[in-house]
Structure 1
Amino acid sequence: MNNVLSIQSHVVFGHAGNSAAVFPMRRLGVNVWPLNTVQFSNHTQYGRWTGSVFDADELQSVIEGIGAIGVLARCNAVLSGYLGATEQGRAVVEIVKMVKAVNPRALFFCDPVMGATGGCTVEPGIEDFLVTTMPEVADAMMPNHLELEKLVGRTIETVEEAVDACREVLARGPRIVLVKHLIDRNSRADTFNMLAVSETEAWFVQRPLYPFARQPVGVGDLTSGIFVARTLQGDSLRDALEHTLAAVNAVVRATYDAGRYELEIVASQDEIAHPTDRFPAIRVTGQEVGRWA
């Protein structure tokens, strides 16, 4: 069984960070070792929360403890998400080095949470660290649209421009870039777009965009977790993308139908594992401008 060390935030109420990603990964057959960067009462988009940020040295100490009992080599992947402080970013890099020292085949998936969308709050300095340091360390980067723009330092308006930006990020080290939410001027306003790019492939896929009064939080964390799990289970880039989009669509649709703000993850667990609806990905070759549904 694959084991993922998931270094993200934790909220006691609701679904964000590890609270959104751990259960879906386990439901997909991947064992998860959650390491929380923060523990908050709830996610920050409520505008108020309590809790604390864990010390970066404490994060490393926990992993050293796992190493001390001789099981760190069983870690197949590290997934990082929300960071509560820049020092935690440096700790993540050291933790990845520790894991790869005992298991060189282990993969590092970086979800570069930079804030500035939907009220998400991150500390000053984290964005710069994610932009300047993480692409050289990560095996896969999983930004949203705004984060991809920050990674390459320019505006992106089309799928083709996004593919070019992803390839620019790939040139810095990662094998895969997953754009968890892509804004494309040629797509219909009622669609939600995703893109997965490697050195030789680029796949674009869409699902419905549900008209929430306020969009639920944690969709990106849910997306990253499912993509990591499906990749570790041996999916091709296209298959991992298609399963991820379909599973996330099922959760979001169930949340919308229930009139909820917090994601209906547990209620949708069977759909996470075996999505009913499928959305075929389109290979991007540079000839598809204006052809998206």
Structure 2
Amino acid sequence: MKGILSVQSHVVYGHAGNSSAVFPLQRMGFEVWPIHTVQFSNHTQYKEGWTGRAFAAEDITSLVSGMAAIGQLENCEAVLSGYQGSAEQCLAIVDTVKKVKAANPKALYVCDPVMGAPDKGCIVAPGIAEHLINTLMPMADIIVPNQFELSQFTEMEINSLEDAIKACQVALEKGPKMVLVKHLHSISSESFSMMLATQEGCWLAQRPHLEFDKQPVGVGDLISALFTGQYLAKGNAEAAFSHCNDACYAVLKETSQRGEWELQTIAAQNEIVAPCEHFPLEAL
């Protein structure tokens, strides 16, 4: 049976990293093979703190070798990478993608280059950002950066819609075939904005901002998973992007209505497959 190899962080309680990505992909009908880069009790924005640890890069390599030994890498449709806990783990991702593509040349590599955000700066361990920018993002078929991460990759300031379009074009010239910007914070203060750029065109997706006492964590991981699954299912980037925007809003709306800040992916599971509200894309 074909599946998606998802290599990112994991929390025991709540929804971030693989805990945000795996169930939506499963709900869309995919087998998912999760490998955790770190395992924490909860996400790191709790004021009480968290427990857990990062895993050795060799753990990733060993697990992938085990998958290869039973002949399953050829059934891998996509490798999805997210938060990496060390520079060495980034190198293990490189090795993983090469092994998967050798076994199945049609497999996609989707890189969510988790580095940081405008209000936090770079939040990852030394060496990770450099490996993401210089190796993982250029070798990816699809990258899913936020505005800060896109700016780091393209060495461009992004302060307008025109800047964002240009940055996406620069990113495409560096290797990826698609760029999904999971949050463009400088485009609009009234709406949450995302952008998709491919060789065929560029689209802007916007949806209403929702109010939270504390901002949910794991939204970017959800976006990466939704788009990966929908693109594999539909083979159409524009349609996958539209569904991704609508489904992500549905999960966040359910989360807001319940007064939570942990993503309510279980409660909103039906809308992951068939969102009730639709927000048309704008072709740019």
Alignment of 1:199-238 (within 5 A): 199-238=199-238
> Structure 2 CA distance, aligned partners of 1:108 and 1:208?
30
C-alpha displacement at 1:121, in angstroms? 4.0
Note the aligned Cα RMSD (angstroms). 1.4
Tell me which residue corresponds to 1:91: 92
C-alpha displacement at 1:117, in angstroms? 5.5
Q: Which is further off, 56-65 or 113-122?
A: 113-122
Tell me which residue corresponds to 1:31: 31
Equivalent pair of 2:168/2:197 in contact (CA under 8 Å):
yes
Tell me which residue corresponds to 1:74: 75
Q: What's the TM-score once normalised by structure 2's chain length? A: 0.96
Is the aligned partner of 1:260 residue 2:260?
Answer: yes
Letter of the aligned partner of 1:271 in structure 2? E
Tell me which residue corresponds to 2:251: 251
- Secondary structure of 1:78's counterpart equals strand
Is the aligned partner of 1:105 residue 2:117?
Answer: no
Alignment of 1:1-293 (within 5 A): 2-47=2-47, 48-116=49-117, 121-185=123-187, 187=188, 189-284=189-284
**What are the superposed Cα offsets for residues 175-226 of structure 1, whole Å, 9 maximum, x if unpaired?**
10000011234x3x22100100001210101001112122100000001000
- Secondary structure of 1:39's counterpart equals strand
**What are the superposed Cα offsets for residues 110-136 of structure 1, whole Å, 9 maximum, x if unpaired?**
000002457684212211211111222
Equivalent pair of 1:7/1:37 in contact (CA under 8 Å):
yes
- Secondary structure of 1:143's counterpart equals coil
**What are the superposed Cα offsets for residues 232-283 of structure 1, whole Å, 9 maximum, x if unpaired?**
0024111111100100000001111110010111000001100000111010
> Structure 2 CA distance, aligned partners of 1:56 and 1:274?
37
C-alpha displacement at 1:97, in angstroms? 0.3
Q: Which is further off, 94-103 or 1-10?
A: 1-10
C-alpha displacement at 1:16, in angstroms? 0.3
> Structure 2 CA distance, aligned partners of 1:206 and 1:191?
6
> Structure 1 CA distance, aligned partners of 2:243 and 2:2?
18
- Secondary structure of 1:133's counterpart equals helix
Letter of the aligned partner of 2:100 in structure 1? V
Equivalent pair of 1:158/1:183 in contact (CA under 8 Å):
no
Equivalent pair of 2:20/2:218 in contact (CA under 8 Å):
yes
> Structure 1 CA distance, aligned partners of 2:238 and 2:164?
17
- Secondary structure of 2:79's counterpart equals strand
Q: Which is further off, 158-167 or 216-225?
A: 158-167
Equivalent pair of 2:117/2:146 in contact (CA under 8 Å):
no
C-alpha displacement at 1:49, in angstroms? 1.2
> Structure 2 CA distance, aligned partners of 1:166 and 1:209?
23
**What are the superposed Cα offsets for residues 38-60 of structure 1, whole Å, 9 maximum, x if unpaired?**
11111111252111111101110
Equivalent pair of 1:45/1:118 in contact (CA under 8 Å):
no
Equivalent pair of 2:144/2:224 in contact (CA under 8 Å):
yes
In the alignment of these two chains, the number of paired residues is 282
> Structure 2 CA distance, aligned partners of 1:116 and 1:149?
11
> Structure 1 CA distance, aligned partners of 2:71 and 2:279?
42
Equivalent pair of 2:116/2:148 in contact (CA under 8 Å):
no
- Secondary structure of 2:45's counterpart equals helix
Which consecutive residues of structure 2, in runs of 5 or more, have no partner in the other structure? none
Which consecutive residues of structure 1, in runs of 5 or more, have no partner in the other structure? 285-293
Q: What's the TM-score once normalised by structure 1's chain length? A: 0.93
Equivalent pair of 2:15/2:217 in contact (CA under 8 Å):
yes
